[in-house]
Structures are given as C-alpha cells and as structure tokens.
Amino acid sequence: MAVSHITPPLQPVTLADYEAQSREKLEPGIWAYFSGGAADELTLRRNTEAWQSLELWPRVLRPLTGGHTKLRLAGRELAHPILLAPVAHQKLAHPDGELGSALAAAAQGAGYVLSTQSSTPMEAIASAVLDDPGRGPLWFQLYWQHDRAFNLALAQRAQAAGYESLVLTADAPVSGARDRERRSGFTLPTGMGSVHLQNLPAPSYQPSETYCAGLPAHAPCWEDIAWLQERTPLPIWLKGVLHPQDALQAKRLGVAGLIVSNHGGRTLDTAPTTTRALPLIARALEGGLPLIVDGGIRRGTDVLKALALGANAVLIGRPAMHGLAVDGALGVARVIRLLRDELEIAMALTGCRTLDEATPALLSPS
Ligand SMILES: Cc1cc2nc3c(=O)[nH]c(=O)nc-3n(C[C@H](O)[C@H](O)[C@H](O)COP(=O)(O)O)c2cc1C
C-alpha cells in the first residue's frame, strides 16, 4: 500500500496560529482588508502590544474549587465573557460567512454581534441560532445611515427577527484612511455588498463632495441616539467610546452599555489603546454601566486583564475571521474555545475562582 508523505497542516493551538494559517489561505487583497488598520497602523499594533505589556500578579494557595467563568450581562447568564465583534463582509473569509460564525458562537456559548454590513441577511442568522438554549446574546450592529427612517426600519427589522439589543457604532462617521487596503487594490467582489443596505435611498449630497461636506447628512449625533431610543424598545449599546466624558454623556442618555473600542485600529490612527481608555471610563462611571472592551485581545490572559481593568466582557474581531478563513464555522468555534480555555488557565494561575475576583489588584501589587 502506498504511504502518503503529505504532512497535514498543524492543528492550530493559539489564535496566532490561526492568524498565520489564515494568511496562507486568503488572497492578498482580502488579507489586507481583514488584517489592516488605519494609516500607519500605530493603534493597530499598540492594541496587541498594550495587553501584552500589562503584567499579572498571581496570588497563590487560594481555594479554586467550584470556579467558573459565568457572568450576568444584559439580563442573561452567560457561560463566559467572550462575544464575537461585528465584522463586515464575512463571506470574504469563507463561504460559511456570518452564518458559520454565528453558529460557532452559539455552539460555544458566545454572544454574536451581526454587522450592518453583513453578507448574510439578519433573519437567516437569527432563525439558525435563536432556538439554541446554550447560545449567548444575539445583537445587531447599526451603522447609522443618512436616512433616519431607514435606520428605524433596520432597528424594527432586527427586533422582529429576534435580536436582543442594538449596537450603535459611534467611532466611524467616515471610514479610516486604510492605506494598506488601498495599496493592495482591494475592492469588494461583485455580489458581496451589504445585504441590509440594498434599499437605502440615495443620499442628498453628491458623493464627489469632500468628506466634510457630506458628513452632516449621515454622521450620527447624540440627538440621533435619543431619537432612536424613543422609537425602539431594544436596548442600545454604544460602540467606539474612548473618552470618559463621552461615556458620562452616554450614561446620562440611558444607553444599555458601552463598548470601549478603537475599532481595532481601523478608524483614527494614534487613538489610544483600550487598555488606557477602559480604566478611565470605568472610574468615571463608577460601575454605572456594563462595559465591554475590544481591540487586540488574543490570549486568555488578555481577557483576564480586560476584566481586571473594569470590563464585564470582551469582543474579538479578527481572531474569529482567522478561524473562519482556516476552517469555516469549525475554525471559529475552536478560536472561541482556545481563548476560553486560556482564560480558565489564567484564572487558576492567578488565584481567581470567578470573574468577579479579577480586580485591578491583579495588575498591581499595591
Ligand atoms: C474586517 C473588519 C471589519 C469590521 N467591520 C465592522 C463593522 O461592520 N461594524 C463595527 O462596528 N465594527 C467593525 N469592525 C471592528 C470590530 O467590531 C472590532 O471593534 C475590532 O475588530 C476589534 O479588534 P480586534 O480585531 O483586534 O479584535 C471591523 C473590524 C474588522 C477587522
């Protein structure tokens, strides 16, 4: 019998392994789209470095029996604090696309946030996962459009489909200067557009005008959030908040929670890392709002550090896309599982039985 000498690719054991393997799978333009950031990519690079540079101060000999990663968030009990961030155009990574990611998230008890710029209709995702008793929250991310009525219609459609919250992204009134992506010549392939924006009425401004000339027509403002709150029963989370003053304003407005985020370094380059913004926001709000953080989280130790800095939960963006590119839904499920396993190891090694025990004292011995 012939013996095969083909070595199968190594089973990835870290999120970085998935990243490396996905780079081999994706064509260069698509790789640039998923992995790139804005301008000189300083924020993008600092995002991962910032988590790495924080040190954990382990406590020893603490009782660990009965430990778990459960938490309460948005009125639900979650198995662990990892949710998948909204990421546009997921079918670019793999034909399984958003459906694959959402099924993987549900199977792993992780929350899923569907992007406005999804390549799969929101109803298809909802009907695939809503009945799963072990799933995490299912939320719809809203990129505010120039037509208020259109935004409301999207919110109502999400509510009717079974989405439990809206995530309004506030940090991208325009796309960042994504130089790497432009250099690669990346354009969306035909048929890969945002399915939810197909019937969007044409804007009243000319696309040829400067960014600023067109902006007042579609960039969301605080009044738009208030306007939407009055018309939808869905809780609204604000994503992309970094400044403590904005966090306080959001709290006064009565939003459901904040996602402390610099959009994974894809919007304003040199914006601070979320390791810096999160503790400032947590201190300003004094526990007044639930906080989720994202940007550069690649290890279970990063998740634990995020909780120690004041987050209730984390989002991961690119790592899920790396898993999706390598192995479709299965790859996403493994990425979530790896991160959760690493979190549990980090908890045990720092003497944390439950997530509540991840306090700032983990990061500083004083
Ligand atoms: C390819 C790509 C597409 C994204 N699309 C969206 C989007 O549609 N809506 C949104 O609010 N954020 C979007 N984001 C930002 C993510 O939700 C998240 O904030 C970021 O990826 C977190 O950083 P990480 O990738 O280092 O985990 C996107 C990020 C990437 C990498």
Point out the ligand 1 atom lying closest to the alpha carbon of residue 167: 11
Whether residue 2 has pLDDT greater than 60 = no
Supply the pLDDT for residue 204. Answer: 72
How far is the centre of ligand 1, averaged over its atoms, from the C-alpha of 318 (Å)?
7
As a whole number, mean pLDDT of residues 120-130 equals 98
How far is the centre of ligand 1, averaged over its atoms, from the C-alpha of 150 (Å)?
23
Nearest-CA residue for atom 6 of ligand 1? 87
Supply the pLDDT for residue 167. Answer: 98
**Pocket flag, ligand 1, residue 22 (CB < 6 Å):** no
Report pLDDT digits (tens) over 80-107: 999 999 999 999 999 999 999 999 999 9
**Pocket flag, ligand 1, residue 298 (CB < 6 Å):** no
Whether residue 132 has pLDDT greater than 90 = yes
**Pocket flag, ligand 1, residue 87 (CB < 6 Å):** yes
Instruction: Please state which CATH class domain 21-56+77-181+215-353 belongs to.
Output: alpha beta
For the annotated catalytic residues, the residue numbers are 263
Provide the sign of the torsion angle of the four alpha carbons 149, 142, 218, 282, taken in this order.
positive
Supply the pLDDT for residue 209. Answer: 61
Residue closest to 307 by CA, chosen among 63, 71, 45: 71
**Pocket flag, ligand 1, residue 34 (CB < 6 Å):** yes
For the chain, give the mean pLDDT.
95
**Pocket flag, ligand 1, residue 43 (CB < 6 Å):** no
In sequence order, which residues have a C-beta less than 8 Å from that of residue 114 and are 6 or more positions away?
Answer: 86, 98, 102, 122, 125, 138, 139, 140, 141, 163
As a whole number, mean pLDDT of residues 301-311 equals 98
What's this model's pTM, rounded to 2 decimal places? 0.96
Supply the pLDDT for residue 10. Answer: 82
How far is the centre of ligand 1, averaged over its atoms, from the C-alpha of 89 (Å)?
11
As a whole number, mean pLDDT of residues 269-292 equals 97
**Pocket flag, ligand 1, residue 196 (CB < 6 Å):** no
Whether residue 211 has pLDDT greater than 70 = no
**Pocket flag, ligand 1, residue 263 (CB < 6 Å):** yes
Report pLDDT digits (tens) over 34-51: 999 999 999 999 999 999
How far is the centre of ligand 1, averaged over its atoms, from the C-alpha of 248 (Å)?
24
Q: DSSP for 309-325?
A: TT-SEEEE-HHHHHHHH
Supply the pLDDT for residue 213. Answer: 64
Confidence of residue 206 (pLDDT cuts 50, 70, 90): low
As a whole number, mean pLDDT of residues 165-185 equals 96
Distance CA 8, CA 18 (A): 15
> 171, 258, 263, 336: which to mutate for ligand 1, most atoms within 8 A of CB?
263
Supply the pLDDT for residue 245. Answer: 98
Confidence of residue 214 (pLDDT cuts 50, 70, 90): low
Whether residue 208 has pLDDT greater than 90 = no
Supply the pLDDT for residue 228. Answer: 98
Residue closest to 263 by CA, chosen among 185, 133, 173, 191: 173
Report pLDDT digits (tens) over 63-78: 999 999 999 999 999 9
Supply the pLDDT for residue 366. Answer: 79
Domain range annotation of the chain: 21-56+77-181+215-353
Q: Looking at 167-243, list the stretches that DSSP marks H as alpha helix, in order from N- to C-terminal side.
A: 179-184, 211-218, 222-231
